[in-house]
Amino acid sequence: MNQIYQQVHPRHHYVPVKYSKRMKKLFLNLALLLLASALFAQITVTNATFPSVGDSLKTATDFTPNGIVISSPGGPQIWDFTSLGVNAQQVTVFRAASEGAAFANFPNAELVTIGQAGAETYYNVSATSFENLGFSGTDPTGGLPVQTEFKFNPPVPERIAPLNFIDIHMPESSVNVAFSLADIPGGVLDSLGIPTNFVDSIRIKVTASRIELVDAYGTLAIPGGTYEVLREKRTEYTDTRIEIHLPPPINWFDVTNQAGAGAGFGKDTTISYLFISNTEKEIIATVTTDVGGTTPQQVTFKDNGVLSGTNDPVSAKQVVSVLPNPVGDVARFEFKNWEPGNYDLRIFDMQGKMVLENNLQLNGNQTEPIQCGPLPAGTYFYQIIHVDGKLVGTGRFIKQG
């Protein structure tokens, strides 16, 4: 679960679901069907692939993958992902948990990763599981820009060992954390449409579950390498609720519907396919799909230092981000890999009214300061439009009061 903190990595939570006898029978029949197709030996993934202190795992991400096909279950199969390009690269360094600033609150942790702005994720390692204990930093659900600590109950297994073809796991977890109203930046709750009269605190509750089915095996080629892998299909269900605390007799009151799914709250389903090797500590590839589970939306893969399978340079894709977020009087729009040209930046409020428009001359990598002081506190959306009228970038940011 990578980014259960991006992405609670990639953003991965777990919603409790009840599995009926009929569903269990369906899984059993599917398992038997897959077993019947296993005419050749498959690998077994062991705990030797679990991260340990000092490991630096290198990954790259293609945000607009082409030529990636989600094949049917079974095996042996041959997957060719050598067409993947590089939008972003990341190195995840695993340190001793004691190096983390919040280690005292995660006493059972053995490992910690420290991300941007000091965000920390703590892990425990056993003979059979590499599990995520929790997170310390800005709310990883994306709902509130507040410093907090999320502790998963129970911990979330990121990897299981031994792992074999047709294995099925169904982990569940939850998070329940409250914030004082004084800890939440001004204007944030107003932007979400949440009333603050008589409110003294806010609570976020996340319940989630995941169905993990090792449904295929074979050989996977990515830029710079070819690996024997198991393919694990992960279907994740999340329900992120926000509640406000009111005087008795009401006490906690659910305002998720007022905040809306666009703010990161409500129910969600994520489907991804993990290609796991028995020799490498990185997941060889993680394909995140649409809700139908058939169309790849993005692929994160082991970074072998090769731009493409043919060793030809791939064009880096245009990326835009807003810093800081929430913004104050000035928002810094950071552009990377933009084609030279004339662009319009248009900013809209929650009602869809355009409240700001700027003409930008972009060329490669640059930062453009945008004056947002006159804008009221709230949530805003932006579009970037090329001079030819094509929409080439979108996003969202929060303006503080």
Confidence label for 296 from pLDDT (cuts 50, 70 and 90): very high
Please confirm whether the linkage preceding 376 is cis (ω < 30° from 0): no
Q: In angstroms, how far is the first alpha carbon of the chain from the final one? A: 35
**Dihedral, CA of residue 65, residue 66, residue 70 and residue 75, to nearest 10:** -110
Cα(396)–Cα(325) distance, integer angstroms: 9
Residue 156 vs residue 383, higher pLDDT? 156
Q: Pick the closest to residue 135 from 177, 181, 92 (CA basis).
A: 177
Cα(173)–Cα(5) distance, integer angstroms: 14
Token code pair at residue 210: 């995941």
Average the pLDDT over each of 91-100, 161-170, 171-180 and give the range with the smallest value: 171-180
HSE-CB at 232 with a 13 A cutoff on CA atoms is: 26
pTM metric for this prediction:
0.66
Token code pair at residue 226: 């070819």
Confidence label for 26 from pLDDT (cuts 50, 70 and 90): low
Q: Measuring CA to CA, how many Å separate 65 from each of 218, 301, 383? A: 21, 11, 22
**Burial degree of 364 (CB within 10 A; 0-12, 13-18, 19+):** exposed
Domain spans of the chain? 21-302, 319-399
What pLDDT score does 21 carry? 57
Pairing between β-strand 74-80 and β-strand 201-222 as defined by DSSP bridges: parallel
Token code pair at residue 282: 């990185």
How many angstroms from the chain centroid is the CA of residue 179? 23
What pLDDT score does 11 carry? 39
Per DSSP, the residues of 236-285 read EEEEEEEEEEETTTTEEEE-HHHH-GGGT-EEEEEEEEEEEESS-SS-SE
- pLDDT surpassing 90 at residue 13: no
Q: Taking residues 376-394, what's their average pLDDT?
A: 80
Answer yes or no: are the C-beta atoms of 271 and 233 closer than 8 Å: yes
Token code pair at residue 366: 């640059």
- pLDDT surpassing 60 at residue 167: yes
- pLDDT surpassing 50 at residue 203: yes
Strand partners, 374: none
Backbone φ and ψ of 105, nearest 5°: -90, -5
pLDDT 10s digits, 53-72: 999 999 998 888 888 999 99
Average the pLDDT over each of 109-123, 125-139, 305-319 and give the range with the smallest value: 305-319
How many angstroms from the chain centroid is the CA of residue 186? 26
What pLDDT score does 159 carry? 95
Please confirm whether the linkage preceding 223 is cis (ω < 30° from 0): no
**Helix, strand or coil, per DSSP, at residue 22:** helix
Cα(380)–Cα(401) distance, integer angstroms: 13
Q: Pick the closest to residue 72 from 121, 17, 28, 33 (CA basis).
A: 33
Residue 33 vs residue 231, higher pLDDT? 231
CATH architecture of 319-399: Sandwich (2.60)
Range 291-330 burial, b when 16+ CB lie within 10 A, else e:
eeeeebbbbbbbbeebbbbeeeebebebebebeebbbeee
What pLDDT score does 169 carry? 95
Q: What average pLDDT is seen over the chain?
A: 80
Q: Taking residues 13-42, what's their average pLDDT?
A: 52
